[in-house]
């Protein structure tokens, strides 16, 4: 039976360049789903990322790889909207779109690694993100969520918004939650370098994605 949208549990939203998607991403999403009791996780590959150099693979290829990587998990889905959009991807615009589509009651939880969270003050309209979603931050090897190492405005936000996982079901947006995942020091940058150097990618990302990279001669 379909539940009304307002009764639905939290929806995880996981944006990234996914150039390519790897087990660090997939494990973050799976851990968040379980630890935060999310209904589903929606992967949203960025079209033209505003904060970084052009991706090594096209939007179409990054989308195809995200679909291959998530195909065997019924609670994962892939949203092509940012890749399909003509203009640059800004998370706040995606959140506005999803909030309008899903209604005011559905808890939305934006998933981030610590490195992405630390870069938040550079994001467009970043102070408004909490008007649309909760944020959930996972640890990542090499980065710390220590307030002493954060921009002061970010440290203030952590103090003001930090909450436990139950907060994600008590309101549709506004809380900041941390969760622990098994640390995986995998990065897309390292994968691209390995591929360019002719080294093996096996066991860093799902086999169908490794095959896709090889068949389409990506990152050479």
State the residues that interact with ligand ATP by CB under 6 A.
Answer: 16-19, 24-25, 28, 112-113, 115-116, 138, 140, 184, 186-189
User: Cβ-closest residue to ligand ATP?
Assistant: 113
Whichever of 52 and 169 has its CB closer to ligand ATP, that residue is 52
- Rounded to the nearest whole angstrom, what is the least distance from the CB of residue 132 to ligand ATP in the complex? 17
Instruction: Describe the strand order of the beta sheet including 40-45 as a list of residue ranges.
Output: 76-78, 40-45, 11-16, 108-113, 134-138, 176-179
- Rounded to the nearest whole angstrom, what is the least distance from the CB of residue 100 to ligand ATP in the complex? 24
Pick from 214, 196, 197: which is nearest to 205 by CA?
A: 214
Pick from 42, 29, 52, 139: which is nearest to 82 by CA?
A: 42
3-state secondary structure 138-160: ECCCCCCCCHHHCCHHHHHHHHH
Whichever of 27 and 99 has its CB closer to ligand ATP, that residue is 27
DSSP secondary-structure letter at 121? G
**CA gap 135, 109 in Å, rounded:** 5
- What is the C-alpha R_g of the chain? 17
- Rounded to the nearest whole angstrom, what is the least distance from the CB of residue 20 to ligand ATP in the complex? 9
Whichever of 52 and 105 has its CB closer to ligand ATP, that residue is 52
- Rounded to the nearest whole angstrom, what is the least distance from the CB of residue 131 to ligand ATP in the complex? 20
- Rounded to the nearest whole angstrom, what is the least distance from the CB of residue 173 to ligand ATP in the complex? 18
Whichever of 8 and 23 has its CB closer to ligand ATP, that residue is 23
Whichever of 115 and 128 has its CB closer to ligand ATP, that residue is 115
Structural contact between residues 44 and 81, judged by C-beta atoms closer than 8 angstroms = yes
């Amino acid at each position: 039976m379909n539940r009304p949208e307002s009764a639905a549990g939290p929806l995880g939203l996981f944006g990234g360049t996914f150039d390519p998607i790897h087990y660090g991403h997939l494990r973050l999403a799976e851990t968040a789903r379980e630890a935060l009791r999310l209904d589903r996780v929606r992967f949203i590959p960025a079209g033209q990322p505003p904060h970084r150099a052009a991706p090594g693979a096209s939007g179409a290829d990054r989308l195809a790889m995200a679909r291959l990587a998530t195909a065997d998990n019924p609670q994962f889905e892939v949203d092509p909207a940012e890749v399909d959009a003509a203009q640059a991807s800004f998370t706040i615009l995606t959140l506005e779109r999803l909030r309008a589509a899903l209604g005011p009651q559905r808890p939305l939880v934006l998933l981030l690694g610590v490195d992405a969270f630390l870069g938040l003050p550079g994001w467009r309209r970043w102070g408004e993100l909490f008007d649309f979603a909760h944020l959930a931050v996972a640890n990542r090897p090499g980065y710390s969520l220590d307030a002493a190492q954060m921009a002061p405005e970010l440290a203030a936000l952590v103090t003001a918004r930090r909450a436990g996982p139950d907060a994600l079901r008590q309101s549709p947006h506004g809380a900041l939650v941390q969760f622990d995942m098994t640390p995986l020091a995998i990065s897309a940058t390292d994968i691209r370098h390995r591929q360019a150097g002719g080294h093996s990618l096996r066991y860093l990302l799902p086999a169908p994605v490794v095959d896709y990279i090889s068949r389409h001669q990506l990152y050479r």
